[in-house]
């Protein structure tokens, strides 16, 4: 079984965030990113280098996100000086 990771894609602005998805689908039509309900996507771990490359081509940052998005919110409550 392939390892799934959760990622977040942050664009310079909304245009570039959409451009990332257009470019990803153009370059890798067989590699579907599965959206989750917490502003993230599920992808295969072995795609991470390609995701980061497409991100750099479209002025986007691709980061591996926690599998449980509520964990990040919880950690944020422990560090009140940190903004989201």
Query: pLDDT digits over 4-44, tens only?
Result: 999 999 999 999 999 999 999 999 999 999 998 778 999 99
**Which domains, and CATH codes, for the chain?**
4-78 (3.30.70)
Q: Is the pLDDT of residue 84 over 60?
A: no
* Predicted pLDDT at 8: 93
The pTM of this model reads: 0.76
* Predicted pLDDT at 15: 95
Give 30-67 as a DSSP string: T-PPEE-TTS-EEEEGGGHHHHHHHHHHTTEEEEEEPS
Q: Is the pLDDT of residue 72 over 60?
A: no
* Predicted pLDDT at 76: 62
């Amino acid at each position: 079984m392939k390892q799934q990771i959760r990622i977040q894609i942050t664009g310079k602005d909304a245009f570039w965030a959409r451009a990332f998805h257009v470019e990803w689908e153009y370059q890798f039509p067989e590699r579907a990113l599965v959206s989750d309900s917490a502003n993230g996507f599920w992808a295969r771990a072995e795609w991470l280098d390609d995701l980061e490359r497409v991100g750099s081509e479209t002025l986007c940052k691709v980061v591996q996100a926690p599998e449980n998005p509520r964990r990040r919110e919880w950690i944020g409550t422990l560090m009140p000086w940190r903004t989201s």
